[in-house]
């Protein structure tokens, strides 16, 4: 039963929370864009929404049938994480890092294209290695509920597969982990160096929360990857890390840059 809870119910629950948070970010976006900028909230929306898609893909991957269906869904999920979510995190942080500068390099279309192009290439390479590393699929659970047989399958990367698994780990180490690590370092630096006498007195708090959000996600994702690589087994611990990270990130986005804005937000949200 723990297998079905960890692979079906928990991902659905966490995905549902992420979808709610993403649409709430969309709702409060018009109230905050004048200070932080429209792009920051647009990227934040896509971070929460795309991670919700990544999560909801897990039960689909398990319940969609035998090989190659789990592999196809796995490739889609990993591509979302590597090629879309990670660059969105970096661009969100860069927009917050330079929010008080009218013109900066992160606004250039060439820079944005370069970041996404690099991550998309990583995502494509991941898909290729993923396909060549798998040895079919295996049954992960089987239940009979009300005379209805429910069978869960997942990719067989460890038992007879595992040929190029180290390359999958290296790609994930670059994106999303290394890209998010850079993002976390930048936002912590901004939090520590932001002027204490600024009229936007809540910004250091927002930056710290965002930094810890990224740090927690990195720790859980890296721990999951290391356990998978060395123990040849899959764990779903990053769902817990994703939930904690998402809550902190959402609080960071929700907190207004200035205290007096809270009254306006409450008034507009009633």
Boundaries of every domain in the chain: 2-269
The pLDDT value given to residue 262: 43
pLDDT mean over 194-214: 90
| pLDDT above 60 (res 269) | no
The pLDDT value given to residue 3: 80
Exposed (0-12), middle (13-18) or buried (19+): which is 108, by Cβ within 10 Å? exposed
Over the stretch 69-123, which tens digit does the pLDDT of each residue have? 999 999 999 999 999 999 999 999 998 888 767 667 777 899 999 999 999 999 9
- Cα 129 to Cα 15, 134, 164, distances in angstroms: 27, 9, 7
The pLDDT value given to residue 113: 96
- Cα 199 to Cα 123, 157, 206, 257, 261, distances in angstroms: 42, 53, 14, 9, 12
Give the start-end residues of each E strand in the chain. Answer: 137-145, 148-155
- For helices 203-231 and 179-193, the axis angle rounded to 10 degrees is 150
Over the stretch 142-197, which tens digit does the pLDDT of each residue have? 988 788 888 999 988 765 545 677 888 899 999 999 999 999 999 999 999 988 88
Taking every pair of C-alpha atoms in the chain, what is the biggest distance, in angstroms? 67
Phi, psi angle pair for 163, to nearest 5°? -65, -50
The tokens of 152 are what? 């869960």
The pLDDT value given to residue 235: 62
The pLDDT value given to residue 249: 92
Over the stretch 18-76, which tens digit does the pLDDT of each residue have? 999 999 999 888 777 666 778 888 999 999 999 999 999 999 999 999 999 999 999 99
The pLDDT value given to residue 267: 47
The pLDDT value given to residue 159: 59
The tokens of 30 are what? 């018009």
Over the stretch 236-266, which tens digit does the pLDDT of each residue have? 667 888 889 999 999 998 888 877 544 444 4
Among 1.10.1740, 2.115.10, 1.10.8, 1.20.1070, name the CATH number for the domain at 2-269.
1.20.1070
């Amino acid at each position: 039963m723990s297998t079905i809870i960890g692979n079906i119910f928990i991902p659905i629950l966490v995905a549902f929370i992420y979808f709610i948070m993403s649409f709430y970010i969309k709702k409060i976006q018009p109230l905050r864009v004048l200070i932080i900028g429209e792009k920051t909230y647009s990227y934040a929306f896509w971070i929460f929404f795309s991670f919700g898609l990544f999560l909801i893909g897990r039960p689909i991957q398990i319940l969609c049938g035998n090989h190659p269906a789990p592999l196809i869904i796995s490739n889609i999920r990993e591509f979302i994480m590597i090629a879309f979510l990670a660059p969105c995190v970096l661009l969100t942080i860069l927009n917050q890092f330079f929010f008080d500068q009218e013109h900066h390099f992160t606004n250039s279309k060439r820079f944005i294209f370069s970041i996404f192009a690099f991550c998309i290439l990583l995502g494509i390479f991941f898909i290729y290695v993923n396909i060549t590393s798998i040895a079919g699929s295996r049954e992960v659970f089987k239940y009979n509920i009300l005379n209805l047989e429910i069978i869960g399958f997942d990719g067989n990367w460890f038992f007879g597969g595992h040929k190029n698994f180290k390359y999958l780990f290296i790609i994930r180490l670059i994106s999303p982990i290394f890209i998010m690590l850079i993002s976390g370092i930048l936002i912590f630096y901004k939090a520590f160096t932001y002027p204490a006498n600024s009229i936007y007195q809540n910004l250091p708090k927002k930056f710290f929360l965002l930094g810890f959000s990224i740090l927690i996600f990195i720790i859980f994702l890296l721990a999951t990857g290391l356990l998978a690589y060395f123990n040849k087994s899959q764990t779903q611990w990053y769902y817990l890390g994703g939930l904690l990270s998402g809550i902190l990130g959402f609080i960071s986005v929700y907190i207004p840059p200035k205290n007096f804005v809270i009254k306006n937000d409450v008034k507009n949200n009633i």
